[in-house]
Structure 1
Amino acid sequence: MPAYNSVFNKDPNPPRLVGNFPLLPLRTKVRGPVYPLPFPDPPLPANQSPDEESESYDILDEVLALFRANTFFRNFEIQGPADRLLVYGIWFVSDCLSKIRPTAGVRDATKDVMNLALDTNFAIPGDPGWPLNQMYEPPRDRQDSEILRQYMSQVRQELAARLLARVYDEASGDGKPSKWWLSFTKRKFMGKGL
């Protein structure tokens, strides 16, 4: 059985690419280089995603939906530019989960995960520390490199916030992280990590 690919590969409006990394629109309040998608009306709880057909559904909802299924795969066939962002999102979620201790409360976990998300010293495609440089093209020039770094920072912050809302679901009420999410802390998608 193959891994799950992104539905955004079939988008009739191709996204702007930096190298071959897509700058897809996001549903976020975090400032960045892409236009924000509208929030669902009526608003959804922080731990839920809109329907896939909704105009508010974005690639980060898909990353969180496919994370647990895709982490079991050692191989992944890139079928379009959105898959490159999906791969990056899965690696970043994996990094975030490794920062959450099973005994950590919401406050400590939020601090640790948001520090990781806000860190501006991260590798981008073309850097020596990037895990799969053979699958990603580097940015063309310094300006593209800066735009890609801003976009990836926006993705990291929004993805961290959404992940924390799911790991610390208010419905459980005990203030402890979900064991169903933390059981994936040791798994490495494609045997790699950021």
Structure 2
Amino acid sequence: MPAYHSSFNEEPDVRQVGNVAILPIKTRIRGPAPIADASEADIIDETLDLFRANSLFRNFEIKGPADRLLIILILYVSDCIAKLAAQRTPPNQIDAGKMLNTLSVDSFPIPGDANFVLNAHYAPPASRVDADYLRQYLTQVRQELAARLVERLYADGTGVPSKWWMSFSKRRFMHRAL
């Protein structure tokens, strides 16, 4: 059974930095990302929907630039859940939001950096300006993804994260971690 791929691979006229798609997102966080239509799903919704299914796969065939962004975001969700699971006591929703927001703005490698784990599958940005744009875009997307992940983790209103999400804390997509 193959892994689930992004539905945004077929989008026409998508800007790319390196070979990573710059897709529109629904957000109130300031940044360079294009604004998506509020009535349609964006790459963040798709990442959260496909995370649990795709994290069971060891291999992932990249079919387009949106898949490269999807891989980065799935690995980030995995890191977020692992960070929450590493806490001695499960954090409440407010503390989890603060922890994940801090994680989203921390320094992280981008494609082309020496310590980026998937450099073999990604092209580096063409210039320093493109690299800065990609870093700002990924920071904005990571912040929005962290906010929506917290909403999903604490959707039941009990004040503890969902066990159905937290059970993936030890699972690694493609056996990798950012």
1:2 corresponds in structure 2 to 2
Whole-angstrom distance in 1 between the partners of 2:31 and 2:147? 16
- In structure 1, the residue corresponding to 2:164 is in which secondary structure? helix
Alignment gaps of 5+ in structure 2: none
TM-score relative to the length of structure 2: 0.95
Deviates more, 1:25-34 or 1:152-161: 25-34
Q: Distance in 1 between the 2:140 and 2:97 partners?
A: 17
Aligned pair count reads 175
Residue aligning to 2:94 = 107
The answer on whether the counterparts of 1:29 and 1:36 sit within 8 Å (CA) in structure 2 is no
1:179 matches 2:163 = yes
Q: What is the root-mean-square deviation in Å for CA atoms of aligned residues?
A: 1.1
Q: CA deviation at 1:137?
A: 0.4
Within a 5 Å distance, the mapping from 1:23-172 to structure 2 comes to: 23-40=22-39, 56-101=40-85, 103-119=90-106, 121-169=107-155, 172=156
**Are the equivalent residues in 2 in contact too, given 1:99–1:109 (CA < 8 A)?**
no
Q: Deviation per CA, 1:40-74, whole angstroms, max 9, x where unpaired?
A: 3xxxxxxxxxxxxxxx2111110000000000100
Q: Distance between the aligned counterparts of 1:103 and 1:5, measured in 2?
A: 32
Cα distance in 2 between the residues matched to 1:19 and 1:130: 14
> What TM-score comes out, normalization by structure 1 length?
0.87
Structure 1 residue 191 corresponds to structure 2 residue 178? no
What amino acid sits opposite 2:90 in the alignment?
T
Asked if the contact 2:33/2:140 (under 8 Å) is kept, the reply is no
Once residues 153 and 108 of structure 1 are traced to their aligned partners in structure 2, the CA distance between those partners, rounded to angstroms, is: 20
| Counterpart Cα distance in 2 of 1:86 and 1:173 | 28
Segments of 5+ residues of structure 1 without an aligned counterpart are: 41-55
Amino acid at match of 1:67: F
* Partner-residue secondary structure (3-state), 2:124: coil
How far 1:29 moved relative to its partner? 1.1
Cα distance in 1 between the residues matched to 2:97 and 2:8: 29
**CA separation in 1, counterparts of 2:48 and 2:157?**
21
How much identity, in percent, do the aligned residues show?
53
